Amino acid sequence: MEHTTIPSNLGAVVSVRGSVVDIRFDDHLPPIYSLLRTGQEGRIAIEVLAQLDAHRVRGIALTPTQGLARGMVVEDTGGPLMAPVGKGILSRMFDVFGNSIDREPTPTEIQYRTVHRAPPDLSRRSTKSEIFETGIKIIDVLLPLERGGKAGLFGGAGVGKTVLLTEMIHN
């Protein structure tokens, strides 16, 4: 059985205006939300936001554009920006590209889903209410917080908002 590789869809940078990058593709345009890579080792990531005409797309750089110049080769990755999901990522820290940043081994058995996926239907969401234990007794007793809910923390300068949040993180 012969193994063949699919040729990459390559383009070239036409213009760079801050984080906005225009790219020309001669073969075929990547779809909107496609992730493009350029620069040394593909370190500059660009997401397609618009198809300008039959040969040009406009994208937004998701990483710093230092060193990006007109004429640089851009590769279409063939898919959108993906994020890790599943039980294996609980209590882990990731950057926007799904790379582990907590110095732990790469999690196994995780799935990746596009960041542009539609949210689940309301009928599929859990309606179970559960108390979030902060570990700070006065908050847990007088002002219990709902797990997954929203809470605001307001106060003047120097009253301990950061200290309180830091304690909640450590607990």
pLDDT digits (tens, 9 = 90+) for 56-102: 999 999 999 999 999 999 999 999 999 888 888 888 888 888 888 88
Task: Say if residue 139's pLDDT is above 60.
Answer: yes
Task: Say if residue 26's pLDDT is above 60.
Answer: yes
Overall average pLDDT of the 142-166 stretch: 88
Query: Which residue pairs, CB below 8 angstroms and at least 24 apart, start in 116-121?
Result: 116/33, 116/80, 116/81
DSSP string computed for 29-76: PPPTTEEEEESGGG-EEEEEEEE-SSSEEEEEESS--TT--TT-EEEE
**Per-residue confidence (pLDDT) for residue 95, from 0 to 100:** 86
- Placement of tokens 């990522």 in the chain: 89
Domains in the chain: ranges and CATH? 9-80 (2.40.10.170), 81-117 (no CATH), 127-170 (no CATH)
Overall average pLDDT of the 147-170 stretch: 87
**Per-residue confidence (pLDDT) for residue 3, from 0 to 100:** 46
